[in-house]
Amino acid sequence: MSYLNNKRISNFDIISFTTIVFVLLIYYPFGHRAYSEEVTLEKHVMPKPYFLLVNSSYQNQLDKLDVEKIKVLNDSPYHGITVRIINEFDDKPFDFESLKKKAEFVKNNTSKQIWPWIFLNRIIGTNEKDNIRDVIKDKPYFLKIKGMDIYDEAGTLSDFYNLWRISLKLAKNFSSPGVVFDMEPYNNFKVYKVDYLKESQNKSNEEIKKHLKIIGSNLTVIAQEEYPEAIVWFLFTYLGYQTSTINPFSEKEYMTVSYIAEGMILEAKKRNLPMKFIDGGEVGLGYCYSSLEDMKYKIQGRQDKLKSVLCEYNKLYLGGTIAPWNNIKLKRGWMAEKICGKSPSKTIEDFIPYIRILSTNYDYIWIYATNVAGYDAFDKEISSQFNRGLEKIFRDKSRE
């Protein structure tokens, strides 16, 4: 018999107290960063706002991750990490069992949520003789594709469906909230245009758009079979950004990839699935800003432009993005040009106000770590410099 504050404690009290402690340990495990507000999103506990690392380095490919690389990632303040299942120019076959074995190793050694990163580029190619990118000029797999293999004539669409299925399986095994879908056609940027596919496929514009939506619908059906609660984080969708066609009398239309995203979202709505979709903002916001006012202007402009889209697609959410640097002398290529080259920011400390504004407006933010900005997330010394600066804003619970 025990007493506490002169009150008798029964066996029922002890059991109840033990149950409460057990539940708390499940939902707030040791080692979880306490600086973020917790929200439950589709059976997963995700901090709000959520910060995702997207690293351009091929070191983040699943088969290249080792204990040392994972440790560097574990030391970062990010909540989630993207991992390439295969890279965007890979033409080799793949299978679930070999990838699963490596995924188990990563899962057992990381403290981060791992988001499989999938590339639509697997079905992008060109059968043109000129203007072939060096990276695919010796790869028949891509050279047999007529722009985009939307009718599976080259067999690459079937491959992509399989890759999509495997990525969802891995995401579920990782206990990850979902997958990151990069729809940029790296092999051939001409395929953004419906008119280009119309010519290469010898189909009408309406037939092309219809079939792109069917591809999106099929991707959602696969998600329902493998991971119906998954979040699909697009880096961009182009939804809301219609462009003029060659025919001046025709209605404006989306980029080709937008119709795939549209098909996915509509199918999820039709089937009443718990899936959610995030438009990451690479289009509409971009990676760089000339000032805080420029960022605010872009955020408001994007919100206005997508207002009707968000009303129509209630499963679509907006996210934000930025590509920081810590040393302007290390910037090169496109990062040293145009708006990124003109940005007044000099070190990671200068990005804190920008990230604060993003986290005020969006629940989902992806930080683009790119070598052309001198940000190698796998270099312990370099990443630690970024981590110290980023952690200041990641720890800030306030939303202005």
pLDDT above 90 for 164? yes
Q: What is the mean pLDDT of the chain?
A: 87
Strand, coil or helix: 369 = strand
The model's confidence at residue 3, banded by pLDDT at 50, 70 and 90, is very low
Confidence (pLDDT) at 395: 74
Q: How many CA atoms lie within 13 A of 388 on its CB side?
A: 8
pLDDT digits (tens, 9 = 90+) for 45-78: 788 899 999 999 888 899 999 999 999 999 999 9
Domains within the chain, CATH numbers bracketed: 42-394 (3.20.20)
pLDDT of 266 strictly over 50? yes
Asked if pLDDT for residue 18 goes beyond 90, the answer is no
Average pLDDT over residues 369-379: 96
Quote the CA–CA distance of 230 and 219 in Å, as a whole number. Answer: 12
Tokens linked to 141: 């797999």
Is the separation of the CB atoms in 215 and 150 below 8 Å? yes
Q: Residue 150: what pLDDT?
A: 97
Residue 185 has a pLDDT of 97
Q: What's the confidence (pLDDT) of residue 250?
A: 57
- Percentage of the chain with pLDDT > 70? 86
Closest CA to 82 of 262, 265, 232: 232
Secondary structure of residue 228 in the 3-state scheme: coil
Task: Say if CB 280 and CB 364 are below 8 A apart.
Answer: yes
- Residues linked to residue 61 through DSSP beta bridges, in sequence order: 84
Q: pLDDT per residue over 187-202, tens digit each?
A: 999 999 999 999 989 9
What's the pLDDT score for residue 19? Answer: 41
pLDDT of residue 314: 92
Distances (CA, A) of 304 to 240, 299, 301, 308: 10, 9, 5, 8
CA 348 – CA 322 distance, rounded (Å): 12
Asked if residue 398 has pLDDT above 90, the reply is no
Q: What is the pLDDT of residue 45?
A: 73
The set of residues, in sequence order, having a beta carbon less than 8 Å from that of 330 and lying 6+ positions away, is 373, 374
- 127: pLDDT confidence band, cut at 50, 70 and 90? confident
Q: Please tell me the predicted confidence (pLDDT) of residue 128.
A: 78
